Structure 1
Amino acid sequence: MGSRGKRRVPARRNTNALVIGGVSVVAVIGAGVGAYALMDSGTSSSAAADAKPKVKTGPPSAAEVRTAADRFLTAWQSGDAAKAAGYTDDAAAAQQALAGLSKDAHLTDVKLTPGRRSGAEVPFHVTSTVTYEKTKKPFAYDSSVTAVRRKADGKVLIGWQPSVVHPELKDGDRLVTGEAGDPPVKAVDRNGGELSAKTYPSLGAVVDGLREKYGKKAGGTAGVELRIVRKEASGKGEKNAVPDKTLLTLSEGTPGTVKTTLSPTLQAEAEKQVASRKRAAVVVVRPSTGEILAVANSSPGFNTAFQGSLAPGSTMKVITSSLLLEKDLAGVDKQHPCPKYFTYGHWKFQNDDKFEIKKGTFKASFAASCNTAFISQAPKLENDSLTKQAQQVFGLGLDNWSIGVPSFDGAVPVQSEAQMAASLIGQGGVRMNPLNMASVAATVKSGSFHQPYLVPPDFDHRTLAKASRAMSAGTAAQLRELMHYTAVAGTAVKPMSGLGSDMGAKTGSAEVDGQKEPNGWFTAYRGDLAAAAVVQQGGHGGDSAGPVVRQMLLAGG
């Protein structure tokens, strides 16, 4: 044969190196060489046909992580959204998001600098320019990518999630540059002093909420900005939505002024209290009016104080006690059972440290936070009894509060058997936040429900929520006696010590699946102030949330 004795010379390979953030990426371009394996001369064609390719499994190696990250970041930096998306495990979503950076966010001159790998994660720094019409401003931030192995073929890709584009993006959110959706607002306290996230870190989300609701009503004009446009919260409406967030202001608008009910003294103290604790939130209200005087969160990114949805633990016993008192199932000085255990709905309930009170009064059980004293009354209640009490007397769970910014109004769902019993002590399906529980203490102090509000209703002529009925004067007096006794002789003694005679409190600890320590709760009133706080994973409420509430009541005079 004419070709016998000649060796085939493979085509010469060309290599191009691209440097991104100090990392060299080598792309091999083979002339006429495809991604195919040559068959070994000793392997029969039938054996090769029968062999199944082995799919690699297990966590990505360090080299695989670096390669996946470099390919993705290189393609993104070059402006090829489709190519970059192809290196992720959700190409369609990734391409849409990356294309939107130039189309919607108007980012140009994007440079991506990878950082040091940690496991499967590679952090990176983004520098860019936001260009809109004749205005330009630099924009920089940090994000990260995580490499994952695809099960189908073992290929290592970038695990796609919106936070890759920007760490604060969630599903459905977009980065948009243009005329602001809402004009800016200048939020001021009750004395006219400006409220800003710089002075009061907790108020960032609050001011964002005020802008979204009142920006167009307060008389301001919109500027141009880069912002996160949140996905509409389907079925939740404005009240529970997270407001859009401004990331960069290209040109200032003219702000309108929104006056709030916040007290500068109490707000400063609230900021101080949460700053020294992890995952704490506190609210102070005025019982006689419903005015919100302070709100603060350890984590300013989410307003737990207004929008949190947490089991309130034994602070719920204030509402349950009002129900038992009205139905004559308990009396302050009447004997009341507090056994070690009580079984209902096939659940065995017990007290903290399995204590019991023999021949004790309901007041003693309330002050000691005896769980079984409340669970033992479950057989005498209807499934909707607690739900109706919370709604009709305390204004909770009707989703009709209008405080001026998004809020969660609490939830006390109708339940049966063991879950209904658990709800009596603030577990089960009951969900509250510090705003709700401060309102509960305020309702006890004033004798009737006044919907809390941050912006006076006459600012925009809105109607505040009302309770359908008030508790009797006798029930209100007994509740105040129970809370006062708890503050002077029960679980709330230490936080309430020395605060005078016109005060009362209730502690709470809420068990949460997966947590070693329960969430600590505390709600109390003193004079014309009511406050509530939660410290997540704080343990006993008197030790964790109690000191926060104490300082707020002291700061109020």
Structure 2
Amino acid sequence: MGKRRRAAERKSVGGRNMKVRPGVLGGAAAAVVCGVGAAAFAFSGGSGSDGGGSSVDEKQVATGPPTAAEVRTTARAFLAAWAEGDAARAAALTDDRAAAAKALTSYRKDGHLTKPRLTPGKRSGADVPFKAAATVSYEGKNKPLSYASELTVVRRKSDGKVLVGWRPSVLHPELKRGDRLVTGEAGDPPIKAVDRGGAELTREKYPSLGTVLDGLREKYGKKAGGKAGVELRVVRAGSDAAKKDASEKDTSGSASTKKKNDADSVPDKTLLTLAPGTPGTLKTTFSGSLQSAAEKATAKRKRASVVVVKPSTGEILAAANSTPGGFNTAFQGSIAPGSTMKVISSSLLLEKKLAGVDKKHPCPKYETYGGWKFQNDDKFEIKGGTFRASFARSCNTAFISQAKKLQDDSLTKQAQEVFGLGRDDWSIGVPTFDGAVPVQSDAQMAASLIGQGAVRMNPLNMASVAATVKSGKFKQPYLVSPDLDDRKLATASRTMSGSTASALRELMHYTAVAGTAVEPMSGLGSDMGAKTGSAEVDGQKKPNGWFTAYRGDLASAAVVQEGGHGGDSAGPVVRAMLLAGG
């Protein structure tokens, strides 16, 4: 390689994907301290780059991953330009100049973040972690902000240039596409959420409620009577604050007002409070004791989520995830429910007289429908058995054998009309996914009967299913009383017959005392019932474990992703809830 080529490499810059690291504390001086390992370098001027990286030999484009020297040079140049407030130069050192320039400008203009100090850590391949410390300044109020992030350096295929792979989270780990950092008077006043007994609910005491409390503030901050403070917050793409801002800027009046899908909704998040507001008190249906039990039960397992509801009213008593602060799978998850779906499928077969609790019912090792060959766990069969036995053993073929007698939309209608699922009309007080049972045909329709195929649920949905069986009627779960905002709760268009509800309770009770749910339900009395489930997922070594049950006026459901059999993984989580509720 010649001198000209080596010189070009020393000047080249580049980028790719990035990863997020936890925040750390730091100072707020206006400087960049760049280094890899123990070395540190201070920058006082520009990088000397024209933003396009090095000039490239028109006949020979560099290929392959960036070298260690290229990664260091690129990271230093980008961080230096950012720290110096030169958004255009920093953006030119990325693979998405327009998006980076907009975000870097907003960082200073909307976020009011000044005097950034950026300190790289030890490089790992093309990834360069760094610590960021800046001062948030707004109307005479100043506070330091510190956090950690990471950038990744890549080589652009088209011309071989080495650039920072642009992602919004390079600026701050909480940022996703379309999000912004905004400092100013909070759009929503703070709230003091309390449980049904009046005790305050905080994310410090109940870590799983972090996103729930953010969502409650977003929806009820103004209604609860509080006064907004001054904050630095992440304004999410599509949030009410973002829509309001877009509407104010759009003089044509064409700002989109389309409702955001609740399953994907993430509330705005406060990162720093410059001036505290006055919180308004918001009463929820949560039970502090049950929430504590839910936090403990999910913390013992990886990727566990649980919900508890009160069948007689629909009130949500607890909800927790084993990854506090992460995605709220308990309310917003969209996962195949496995054999817990057989509760709904059984109600359909019972109503259509295709099954009876103590009527003979086939449970062969295999059943073929729509070109697919279905089998039971461990290929078991029940010879001369009843539907009661098939339900308690969770026999797949007992349900697949009835698929030919059903219409393509039979299960969809049953889920929507009797159990209130899959209509996207629940309004519990925070964003939810309300289940999905799409119309399917042939093998996919048959798979839906056993909770596979395109059927999707979460613990809130399946806790509601158990609650509907217990009470005999669907009552939409809710977290905040509709009396507060006069919202209308969802209702079912029809109620299952008393005989069907009684048969379902008998099936679930038998499963709890003589079937797959015996161990988790042992010693819980006579007024109870349960259903286990496991759902195969492509790429997973173990299926997702499910469990839904009721006891007295409590209904609960849990999922443990990659947990294996539901009775072994999710069952103990639900058991803990039913015991904690008395």
Q: Same fold (TM over 0.5)?
A: yes
Match 1:289 to one of 298, 307, 313: 313
- Give the secondary-structure state (helix, strand or coil) at the position aligned to 2:483: helix
- Give the secondary-structure state (helix, strand or coil) at the position aligned to 1:293: strand
Residue of structure 2 equivalent to 1:481? 506
What amino acid sits opposite 1:239 in the alignment? Answer: D
Cα distance in 1 for residues equivalent to 2:567 and 2:154:
45
Shift of the 530–52 alpha-carbon distance from structure 1 to 2, 3 Å rule, reads same
Sequence identity of aligned pairs in percent?
A: 75
State the shift of 1:28 in Å.
Answer: 8.9
Match 1:499 to one of 508, 517, 524: 524
Indicate yes or no: 2:197 matched with 1:173: no
Cα distance in 2 for residues equivalent to 1:160 and 1:124:
15
Task: Give the RMSD, CA atoms, in angstroms.
Answer: 1.9
Cα distance in 1 for residues equivalent to 2:119 and 2:260:
39
- The ranges of structure 1 where at least 4 consecutive aligned residues each deviate by more than 4 angstroms after the TM superposition are 25-30, 34-37, 233-236
Indicate yes or no: 2:262 matched with 1:239: yes
Residue of structure 2 equivalent to 1:254? 278
- Give the secondary-structure state (helix, strand or coil) at the position aligned to 1:342: strand
Match 1:359 to one of 362, 384, 389: 384
Residue of structure 2 equivalent to 1:436? 461
Query: Does the aligned pair in 2 maintain the 1:337–1:376 contact within 8 Å?
Result: yes
Deviates more, 1:238-247 or 1:190-199: 238-247
- Give the secondary-structure state (helix, strand or coil) at the position aligned to 1:124: strand
Match 1:331 to one of 334, 349, 356: 356
Q: Deviations over 1:260-295 (max 9, x none)?
A: 011111011001111121111100001111111101
Q: Deviations over 1:174-193 (max 9, x none)?
A: 11001101011110000000
Residue of structure 1 equivalent to 2:14? none
Alignment of 1:381-420 (within 5 A): 381-420=406-445
Cα distance in 2 for residues equivalent to 1:162 and 1:29:
25
Alignment of 1:69-218 (within 5 A): 69-218=75-224
State the shift of 1:410 in Å.
Answer: 0.7
Query: Does the aligned pair in 2 maintain the 1:116–1:122 contact within 8 Å?
Result: yes
Query: Does the aligned pair in 2 maintain the 1:447–1:470 contact within 8 Å?
Result: yes
- Give the secondary-structure state (helix, strand or coil) at the position aligned to 1:458: coil
Indicate yes or no: 2:235 matched with 1:229: yes
State the shift of 1:418 in Å.
Answer: 1.1
State the shift of 1:54 in Å.
Answer: 2.0
Cα distance in 1 for residues equivalent to 2:155 and 2:127:
13
- Give the secondary-structure state (helix, strand or coil) at the position aligned to 1:253: coil
Cα distance in 2 for residues equivalent to 1:416 and 1:243:
37
Q: Deviations over 1:494-551 (max 9, x none)?
A: 1111111111100111111211111111000001100000111111111111000000
Q: Deviations over 1:470-489 (max 9, x none)?
A: 11111011101111111111
What amino acid sits opposite 2:566 in the alignment? Answer: G
Cα distance in 1 for residues equivalent to 2:184 and 2:436:
38
Indicate yes or no: 2:294 matched with 1:270: yes
Shift of the 149–448 alpha-carbon distance from structure 1 to 2, 3 Å rule, reads same
Aligned length: 525
Query: Does the aligned pair in 1 maintain the 2:361–2:390 contact within 8 Å?
Result: yes
- Give the secondary-structure state (helix, strand or coil) at the position aligned to 2:154: strand
- Give the secondary-structure state (helix, strand or coil) at the position aligned to 1:483: helix
Residue of structure 1 equivalent to 2:341? 316
State the shift of 1:323 in Å.
Answer: 0.1
Query: Does the aligned pair in 2 maintain the 1:190–1:259 contact within 8 Å?
Result: yes
Shift of the 267–62 alpha-carbon distance from structure 1 to 2, 3 Å rule, reads same
Q: Deviations over 1:290-310 (max 9, x none)?
A: 111101111222211111111
Q: Deviations over 1:21-60 (max 9, x none)?
A: 5434898979xxx9889xxxxxxxxxxxxx9622222222
Q: Deviations over 1:63-120 (max 9, x none)?
A: 2222221111111111111111111111110111111111000001100000111121
Query: Does the aligned pair in 2 maintain the 1:333–1:362 contact within 8 Å?
Result: yes
What amino acid sits opposite 1:420 in the alignment? Answer: M
Residue of structure 2 equivalent to 1:511? 536
Match 1:20 to one of 19, 34, 52: 34
- Give the secondary-structure state (helix, strand or coil) at the position aligned to 2:422: coil
Cα distance in 1 for residues equivalent to 2:47 and 2:424:
61
TM-score, reference length from structure 1: 0.91
Shift of the 245–145 alpha-carbon distance from structure 1 to 2, 3 Å rule, reads same
What amino acid sits opposite 1:271 in the alignment? Answer: E
What amino acid sits opposite 1:260 in the alignment? Answer: T
Query: Does the aligned pair in 2 maintain the 1:351–1:370 contact within 8 Å?
Result: yes
Deviates more, 1:470-479 or 1:151-160: 151-160
TM-score, reference length from structure 2: 0.87
Give 5+ residue unaligned stretches, structure 2.
1-10, 12-31, 240-255
Cα distance in 1 for residues equivalent to 2:486 and 2:215:
18
Q: Deviations over 1:301-325 (max 9, x none)?
A: 2211111111111100000000000
Q: Deviations over 1:402-451 (max 9, x none)?
A: 11111111111111111111111111111111000000000000111111
What amino acid sits opposite 1:61 in the alignment? Answer: T
Cα distance in 2 for residues equivalent to 1:324 and 1:35:
69
Residue of structure 2 equivalent to 1:421? 446
Cα distance in 1 for residues equivalent to 2:420 and 2:300:
32
